[in-house]
Structure 1
């Protein structure tokens, strides 16, 4: 139950980039319950792709029936039949989902207005794979110039005051001058990754914790909280090793990619 006499009008829990890590998802849901729950829980996509527990994660999410936007890996997992271009994490998940589950992932919307002026998306309003708030510098993700981010938001309604996004796996909170607040809670289930799409780069949260966020909409300034939850990341790392993905195991243990 939520506390009585609360000072906010609505509390939103923000989940992103679960990537088939049902252990991390369950830890986040337990932590949220201990914090009093939320009026709304939103899922920012990339639900199941990864060498972990895609089917179990999908079943958990189906039971929760959360408002969810489509991530790039949700779209890629849905490709049928798998082709030579399918990334290993997507293939692993695809082979373990039903056709109906894959179709449900593909049918997810790019954006959702989950509350007045609050828009949820995975990457950008018009694309599920291009970074919104990030640029690549020396093989690392860094925050993009604010002017570039503002251009990437073109097309959003002028009434939008908060954008909830994922994709980069990097927790971020900043305000665009004369524009919305951008909030990325970080990744629940994949604390680091390497993307060899030119220019190749890594994203690293720097620790194995499962990340999520809470947004409290109120009569006073809105409140944002980025939360890091400990969980049995060693069990997740062993699962990745059994699937033949040692680099995933390293990332799950450390929040870093192998050096």
Structure 2
């Protein structure tokens, strides 16, 4: 059995279409989405339409929650754009998504932490950048779990770790946004250094687990152009380069 793991599409329709086409080319039918589906100055409405039609098990991300529940005055410009682009049926779909999904008895899907969708599971912030957190810190954040595999998103950083005497924790990376600058709390950037769309494959066979981290070319220039046309040069730069726009 092979499971495709996607996360953090952020309304990037051409990136999502490229990823889903690659998954279909591999004849994979099982897909899990770890959230932050639509938020961003791109194609939120069309992205929601596609994801809702596919009906994948989907975790609610922090931006999904904000877009669906916060007052417009409390939203960032990109989340405000998203809220206004979505119809009420789509906002209700985001609102109703679960905070966690138990795929199998031993597979747990979350966005950030199991109890907090706006915190990083695998990363710390040091000198304004995301770095891999120590294994003991990851284990403490995760808490007690009977899962052998934990799937998380939120940081847009594609990597995995096997915790000592604990589960494999996998972040598939971001389908639709390879870099961002977060000025809230402890200000920091997340950058992966290329504009590729990212996801992961988890294959199981007789108790063994094989994980493939996938990076795909897609028409990122069209996504960058869309962000620029919608007045967001930071997103445009990130989509074109994989780096955050210098402050």
What residue number does 1:75 align with?
A: 65
Q: Distance in 2 between matches of 1:148 and 1:93?
A: 34
Contact 1:125/1:155, CA 8 A, preserved across alignment: no
Q: Distance in 1 between matches of 2:205 and 2:102?
A: 17
What residue number does 2:50 align with?
A: 60
What residue number does 1:7 align with?
A: none
For structure 2, list consecutive stretches of 5 or more residues without a partner in the other structure: none
Structure 1 runs of 4+ aligned residues shifted over 6 Å read none
Partner residue of 1:91 out of 71, 74, 80 = 80
> Superposed, which structure 2 residues align to 1:138-177 within 5 Å?
138-156=127-145, 158=146, 160-177=147-164
Q: CA deviation at 1:80?
A: 5.2
Taking structure 1 as reference, are residues 231 and 197 closer, same or farther at Cα in structure 2, changes over 3 Å only? same
Worse overlay, 133-142 or 214-223: 214-223
Aligned residues between the structures: 246
What residue number does 2:219 align with?
A: 232
Matched, 1:134 2:131: no
Partner residue of 1:45 out of 28, 35, 48 = 35
Worse overlay, 105-114 or 42-51: 105-114
More helix by share: 2
Matched, 1:21 2:12: yes
Q: Distance in 1 between matches of 2:104 and 2:2?
A: 10
Q: Distance in 2 between matches of 1:90 and 1:129?
A: 15
Normalising by structure 2, what TM-score?
Answer: 0.97
Q: Distance in 1 between matches of 2:88 and 2:144?
A: 33
For structure 1, list consecutive stretches of 5 or more residues without a partner in the other structure: 1-9
Q: For residue 211 of structure 1, give the secondary structure of its aligned residue in structure 2.
A: strand
Normalising by structure 1, what TM-score?
Answer: 0.93
What residue number does 1:105 align with?
A: 94
Q: Distance in 2 between matches of 1:55 and 1:184?
A: 25
